[in-house]
Amino acid sequence: MRKLLSMMLILLTSGALTVAPVFGKSNDSHDKAAAKIKQKITRLGVDAPLIVKLDDDRKLTGRIGEISDESFVIRAGASGDQQVINYADVRQVTYAGSTGGANLGPAFLVFIAVVVVTKLLR
């Protein structure tokens, strides 16, 4: 009986020592991803248009309302519905606004073509 109890005690303690946390590394990388999301949101600033993809596969489109240490607020739609989103729940953030003069290139080429054609036809 004494041998059995000592053997069980050895097995129980050795099993407890060999158990390692399964999500130890994952939490660290998840924290880094959340920090990158926070940095991007902060860089975009309040009232910037964006598309947010969440970990639960939802996709939100709207503007940044408020920015805090752990979360930010997105104002969605014309009604201005506000939703608080934790940085840790975000998979991806994409800026949804204009890139400035990116759309002016083709318009400029069309303008030049029209000017050249009108000069040639005179």
* CATH number for position 6: 2.30.30.100
Separation CA 109–CA 103 (nearest Å) = 11
Low-confidence residues of the chain, pLDDT below 50? 16-20, 23-25
**Per the domain annotation, does 51 fall within a domain?**
yes
SS3 73: strand
Is 65 exposed, middle or buried (CB count within 10 Å of its CB: 0-12, 13-18, 19+)? Answer: middle
The domain containing residue 89 runs over which residues? 2-99
pLDDT value for 114: 79
71-76/81-86 β-pairing: antiparallel
Separation CA 79–CA 102 (nearest Å) = 29
**Per the domain annotation, does 114 fall within a domain?**
no
**Per the domain annotation, does 111 fall within a domain?**
no
**Per the domain annotation, does 107 fall within a domain?**
no
**Per the domain annotation, does 122 fall within a domain?**
no
What mean pLDDT, rounded, does the chain reach?
A: 80
**Per-residue pLDDT reduced to its tens digit, 60-93:** 999 999 999 999 999 987 777 899 999 999 999 9
